Structure 1
Amino acid sequence: MMKKQPKLTVVGAGPGDVELITLKAIKALENADVVLYDALVNPELLDYINPKAELIFVGKRRGCYRYQQEQINELIVARGFSHGHVVRLKGGDPFIFGRGAEEMQYAATYGLEVAVIPGISSSLAVPAYQNIPLTKRGSSESFWVITGTTKQHKLSNDVRLAAKSNATVVVLMGMGKLSEIVSLFKEEGKSELPVAIIQNGTTPEEKIGIGTVDTIEEVVSKNNLSNPAIIVLGEVVKHRQQLADVKQEVVLKSVV
């Protein structure tokens, strides 16, 4: 029997809704010999994996790491040479704060063939599911997507720069830094800027809190919002209510 070519395919699983994975990603799962998957991957997606493939959970939950990143890298290479096609299944898009690029680079240095299948990023899809566009004529001409916590476990300085702009600002993994984030926006005189925080976006457990820079911490406390969540700051947050108002007007007119 001919030995299989060692290969790594890094696959984006999307933000949570099982239907938001691509056809190309499903085909990769069907052809996998080994699948390493993360905690934020919808368990229903495991049903699409080649039944003969080895499944290995390598995610973290509540700060508990089953595998360190170095171990994951080594596991990818080892399974590539022993089994063949390794699929690294990651939540959202693996090239947006997902370490997909790091894993591919590591595997390539050991001679594995590498490929990536992009996923729908939660930074785009989660606000969209709540009718919050990241850009809208007259409200926002651009958007920033920023990690809330850097490698040094500090708030990214890009948040300070973004607070000075008129762009929509999306912060991932930022709930632990929420007080620092709102302080930066208050310094820029943006206390009344609309803010949305969406937890478990695109899943049945989705929760949302809407407020302003001035009130959002109270909203979080009242609604018991926590990670995994996305923070959206910008005038575009108003679109959600504007759309709801339009729908209500249509309903009232139809009744009359």
Structure 2
Amino acid sequence: MKHMEEIRVPQPPRARVLLCADLKQSDMEEIEKTKSALEIERILCSALVSDVPQPKQRILLELYTNLVLFCREKNFNREQTSVLISIVKNVHQFNTETPLNNTDQCFNYCSELLLCHSVRRPPFSIDLFNSDQVTEILSYFINTYMRHYFLYKYIFTPEVLLDLHLSYTGLPEVTATEETVRSETPISNNADETRETVKKKQVTEEVQQNAASPTMKTIETDSTKQGSTPKSELRTIVQREVGDEVMRLTAQLQQRLQQSAEQLNSAISKLETNVQARK
């Protein structure tokens, strides 16, 4: 018997330098030359999300294009823009690895990646961003990606399905008699002839049983009626219990989603407070 594997929140990978990890120097040169958002999307699509199906590709392009526009607004250079896109890409991949809530792990991973690019300690880290730029990036990340955290997880995380099988023991089997009738019934190409043969055989057996033992016929009929009743009752009980369980699980899921949303809003408020305190 196979048991369902336990789904656990994965641990974030070790932070590393992401200079030119996803966008080449030629890509950044093309992005720097163009001023059209559509042209930026075309370059990012061929470099980052060419193998992603729609509509997921459209969502990622919007995310990365807005990052490029943010970097232009803050006057970031090529290397800073490329690294920031790679940071958000890695955080997004880590977020969508599990259907479970990993809000804190995602934000900590983003903070570690930024720290890895704001302190000069080669070859482990480089000083690409200063403290003010890190504060601006964290504020942008919170107000964009983290505020839509559950939306990204819902769209990009594979759906988890529960396959439920029920089996019961101690119930009378009815397949044996059906197999006996089928095996004793001659094979015919005409369905009407086959049904007529089965009816004649059942009538003949019924007449013989009535002639031999009338009491036995009554007992068998009563037992047949008694045997069918527990099945219908069991089916009704199972349907009612399954329906109640589904309603209970639905209520629990809604409650957990509400709690997760409240926790996320609380975490975002704390992070915004910390960012403002640093200023």
Q: Which has the higher helix share?
A: 2
**TM-score (normalised: structure 1):** 0.22
Work out which of the two has the higher radius of gyration on C-alpha atoms and give 1 or 2.
2
Structure 1 or 2: more strand by fraction: 1
